[in-house]
Amino acid sequence: MENGNKASTNGTANGQDFLRAEGIVKRFGAVEVLKGVDLRVQRGEVLGLIGDNGAGKSTLIKTITGFHRPDGGSILIEGEEVNLRSVSQARSLGIQTVYQDLALVNELSVFHNMFLNGEMTVGPFLNNRKMKEHTQRYLDDMGVNIPSIDTTVARLSGGQRQAIAVARAVYSDAKMLLLDEPLAAMGAKEGALILDLIQRLKEERGIPMILIVHNYAQVFDVCDRVNLLRNGRIEYDKPVAETSVEELTELVVSEYRKARQGNRGNGAG
């Protein structure tokens, strides 16, 4: 594995690991998807995780968040080894995940989505006034502009919906965020909204994050370091200041070249 040893120069990482995964193995039947993954994220650091489709990125994220139980290896949170048995346990430790489907209810308002499954109540009744006040304050604090928090989520743009999901995770006492392709299927304007939000969370709150990304240019907008997951392992680990879009692209393209050459060889045989 290639490693960059210099300290990151693109963020506020302070050298202390919030999360460290060591030798993570995950099997599904006879198929070994993760084959000894070593990964670390420092406090205040944004890590870009790249890799081909089927490389195991989502499996790794789901293992870190307690959805999957690892078959080998260890996970340390703030220096303490943890045995994650569920997503709720990971959340209790401050690990929040925003998946591509966002887990929002389109028919509900913005403020109801912000408190989904954690509604504020007065006796047996919903305290809509208080939820509205908190939602507006949360969004203002994060610089997220939503025309009306009474609007149903279905009427928002993709970028606005993503911002709502991120804001909800942050205000659920998140100590770390894992974002599964947060810019997927977004135009430039919507993508910029989310990149700005990630940048603010890094600079103003120091929240460590892992971003699964497909567009390598986006790695250089907000990430401090980049990891390539391939063949079930982290095969590349460098600060973004020491690499380039061209280098990352070549890493992935070279794997396709090898696969094509192997297929031709098999065909010739």
Between 256 and 178, the more confident residue is 178
The counts of H helices and E strands in the chain are 8, 13
pLDDT of residue 188: 78
Other CB atoms within 10 Å distance of the CB of residue 223: 26
Range in 69-73, 124-128, 239-243, 262-266 the model is least confident about: 262-266
pLDDT of residue 189: 79
Residues 6 or more apart in contact with residue 202 via CB below 8 angstroms:
11, 12, 44, 46, 209, 222
Query: What are 244's two structure tokens?
Result: 């380039």
The string over 20-59, giving b where at least 16 C-beta atoms fall within 10 Å of a residue's C-beta and e elsewhere, is bbeebbbeeeeeebbeebebbbbbbbbbbbbbbeebbbbb
Please say if the pLDDT value at position 140 is more than 80.
yes
Query: What are 253's two structure tokens?
Result: 């393209």
DSSP 152: B
Tens-place pLDDT, residues 228-260: 999 999 999 999 999 999 999 998 888 777 777
Tens-place pLDDT, residues 190-214: 788 888 889 988 998 899 999 998 8
pLDDT of residue 256: 72
pTM for the model: 0.84
| Average pLDDT over the chain, rounded to an integer | 88
Domain boundaries in the chain?
A: 2-94+177-268, 104-174
CATH number, span 2-94+177-268:
3.40.50.300
Query: What are 7's two structure tokens?
Result: 């300290």
- Assess contact for 211 and 60: CB atoms under 8 A: no
Please say if the pLDDT value at position 184 is more than 70.
yes
Please say if the pLDDT value at position 129 is more than 90.
yes
State the helix-helix crossing angle for 158-170 and 128-142, rounded to 10 degrees: 100
Q: How far apart are CA 11 and CA 23, in angstroms?
A: 27
C-alpha separations of 176 from 23, 51, 55, 260 in Å = 21, 21, 23, 39
Calculate Rg over the CA atoms of the chain.
Answer: 20
Please say if the pLDDT value at position 2 is more than 70.
no
User: Which pLDDT band holds residue 1 (cuts at 50, 70, 90)?
Assistant: low
pLDDT of residue 14: 52
To 5 degrees, how large is the angle CA 119–CA 201–CA 197? 85
User: Which pLDDT band holds residue 3 (cuts at 50, 70, 90)?
Assistant: low
C-alpha separations of 182 from 113, 134, 187, 259 in Å = 18, 24, 12, 29
Q: How far apart are CA 88 and CA 77, in angstroms?
A: 15
